[in-house]
Amino acid sequence: MASTVVDASGTEKSTATPTGTQTEQDAVFAVRHLWKVFGPKAEKVPEDASLAELSAQELREKTGCTAAVRDVSFDVKKGEVFVVMGLSGSGKSTLVRCLTRLIEPTSGDLEMDGEDVRGMDRSGLRELRRHRAAMVFQHFGLLPHRSVLDNVAYGLEIQGVGKAERRARAMETVEKVGLGGLEQRKPGQLSGGQQQRVGLARALTVDPEILLFDEPFSALDPLIRRDMQEEVIRLHKEEGRTMVFITHDLAEALLLGDRIALMRDGKIVQLGTPEEIVGSPADEYVRDFVRDVPREQVLTVRRAMRPAESGEADEGAALTPDTLISDAIEAVARSGGAARVVENGRCLGIVDHACLLNVVARLDEEAPDDGKAAA
Ligand SMILES: Nc1ncnc2c1ncn2[C@@H]1O[C@H](COP(=O)(O)OP(=O)(O)OP(=O)(O)O)[C@@H](O)[C@H]1O
């Protein structure tokens, strides 16, 4: 089947071989041409080009099927926070559940650490879900009659780890997520944010290679939500654990994601860093999606800089290329002059008032159109 992988720059690359050869070496999950179709004779839809190309509504009318995930290909790289974002019904949960076959994919290839997940038998899958990929849900799924500690130790209990060891390991993660002192409480005696920390601790206790979050914070009030987002950032910085994070909230995606896959109607319409998605939207839909994002808080000076003119490369404030535009504005305003963008001692370019303002005012988006200007 002819299809594409969207790379980090949002460009589509053809993938002649379905698995293996083009998988990034450091990929935890490698997903190729994945489909999930719900409904009668679902397996016919990916195989039949005349059905595969129909819009969601046409497909439903013609076959009674819903294609929740349509020919999706991507890698989740080791150590990254990979965010799956999209509006309600775009296919986020279905896609992430397919990764551990909580939902059975209809077609496509799926590997974890080079191992074929679709070919795994029951015991392989059990091992995958219990040890290698732990899920944190929006509804925490805590056992109400058990203490916080026993809830956190639950994953180890079903792995068959002995009581003393599982309690010791659970206590470590209870402390790690800031619940020390509350370990004997029951879930009902905790706030929503604290309950979500228990859910997080339970997933962490099994020391999985990858954590999968399904909109874990969407039911929390904004302040607690912010707390939990910071907790995830802190844990990620400290442990470097690979994470897949589903959200419908753009601000959350931009805050947490190293890369973001933006879904619409079961497809990935753009995959890229927050800066790529906000700075170079792939189409009108993405452009609309990111319209209200304060660009200076996402884009960096790499995007704003211009070439140095004679003498400029040697003096003036120095900024690293990943400096946010908002921080560069402050630096330029304070110094009163242009600043250099410097990497490994080399001046890559210059940012001054004009080029920083151009990015804030979105003038950098306008492609020059000489023909029109001349007319
Ligand atoms: N078991 C099912 N049977 C039939 N259709 C389903 C089933 N599960 C999901 N769908 C459909 O698949 C599509 C994608 O649903 P999914 O739950 O993956 O979206 P989502 O982006 O996670 O949405 P939300 O943000 O609301 O959770 C929707 O049209 C949904 O109605």
- Pocket probe mutation, ligand 1, options 34, 35, 36, 38, max atoms within 8 Å of Cβ: 38
Q: How far is the CA of 66 from the centre of ligand 1 (A)?
A: 9
Rounded Cα distance, 166 and 186, in Å = 18
| ipTM exceeding the 0.95 mark | yes
Least confident of 28-32, 106-110, 319-323, 332-336: 332-336
- The arithmetic mean of pLDDT across residues 28-43, rounded, is 95
| Fold (CATH) for 4-289 | Rossmann fold (3.40.50)
Q: Are 189 and 198 within 8 A, CB to CB? A: no
Reference 133, options 150, 115, 107; nearest CA is 115
Rounded Cα distance, 134 and 209, in Å = 8
Exposure b/e, 257-296, CB count within 10 A at least 16 = b? bbbbbbbbbbbbbbbbbbbbbbbbbbeeebeebbeebebb
The predicted pLDDT at position 72 comes to: 96
Phi, psi of 87 (to 5 degrees): -70, 170
- The arithmetic mean of pLDDT across residues 261-271, rounded, is 95
- Strand-strand pairing, 242-247 and 259-264: unpaired
The predicted pLDDT at position 235 comes to: 86
Which amino acid residue places its CA nearest to atom 3 of ligand 1? 38
Token representation of residue 164: 């003393």
Alpha helices, DSSP H only, in 100-188?
A: 122-127, 148-152, 154-159, 163-176
List the Cα angle 99/102/104 in 5-degree steps.
Answer: 80
- Pocket probe mutation, ligand 1, options 36, 60, 92, 217, max atoms within 8 Å of Cβ: 92
DSSP track, 206-246 = T--SEEEEESTTTTS-HHHHHHHHHHHHHHHHHH--EEEEE
CATH 3.90.1280.20 positions along the chain are: 297-374
End-to-end CA distance of the chain: 45
Q: Is 96 exposed, middle or buried (0-12, 13-18, 19+ CB in 10 A)?
A: buried
The beta strand positions in the chain, using DSSP E, are 4-6, 12-14, 27-38, 66-77, 81-86, 107-112, 115-116, 133-137, 210-214, 242-247, 259-264, 267-272, 317-319, 339-343, 346-351
Report the predicted TM-score, pTM, of the whole model to 2 decimal places.
0.85
The predicted pLDDT at position 218 comes to: 82
Average pLDDT of the residues of the chain? 87
Q: For residue 359, give the H/E element and its range.
A: helix 353-360
Shortest-distance atom of ligand 1 to CA 69: 14
Phi, psi of 78 (to 5 degrees): -60, 130
369 — pLDDT class (breaks 50, 70, 90): very low
**pLDDT of 11 over the 50 cut:** no
pLDDT tens-place string over residues 74-124: 999 999 999 999 999 999 999 999 999 999 999 999 999 999 999 999 999
14 — pLDDT class (breaks 50, 70, 90): very low
The predicted pLDDT at position 361 comes to: 87
Measuring CA to CA, how many Å separate 295 from each of 54, 138, 358? Answer: 35, 29, 11
Which DSSP category does 300 fall into?
B
Task: Express as a percent the part of the chain with pLDDT over 90.
Answer: 64
CATH 3.40.50.300 positions along the chain are: 4-289
The predicted pLDDT at position 187 comes to: 92
Reference 178, options 207, 216, 148; nearest CA is 148
Helix (H/G/I), strand (E/B), else coil: 68: strand
Task: Express as a percent the part of the chain with pLDDT over 70.
Answer: 90
Measuring CA to CA, how many Å separate 140 from each of 1, 86, 188? Answer: 39, 22, 12
Q: How far is the CA of 146 from the centre of ligand 1 (A)?
A: 32
Instruction: Quickly tell me which residue has 């959350």 as its tokens.
Output: 252
Q: What residues flank ligand 1, with Cβ below 6 Å?
A: 38, 66, 68, 86, 88-94, 248
The predicted pLDDT at position 7 comes to: 41
**pLDDT of 57 over the 60 cut:** yes
Q: For residue 278, give the H/E element and its range.
A: helix 274-279
Rounded Cα distance, 335 and 316, in Å = 8
Q: Which CATH architecture has domain 297-374?
A: Alpha-Beta Complex (3.90)
- The arithmetic mean of pLDDT across residues 22-34, rounded, is 84
**pLDDT of 30 over the 70 cut:** yes
pLDDT tens-place string over residues 274-326: 999 999 999 999 999 898 899 999 999 999 999 999 888 888 889 999 999 99
pLDDT tens-place string over residues 127-166: 999 889 988 887 767 899 999 999 999 989 988 899 999 9
CB neighbours (10 Å) of residue 211? 24
DSSP track, 87-118 = STTSSHHHHHHHHTTSS--SEEEEEETTEEST
Q: How far is the CA of 2 from the centre of ligand 1 (A)?
A: 26
Which amino acid residue places its CA nearest to atom 26 of ligand 1? 88
- The arithmetic mean of pLDDT across residues 265-276, rounded, is 95
Least confident of 15-24, 151-160, 173-182: 15-24
Q: Are 241 and 232 within 8 A, CB to CB? A: no
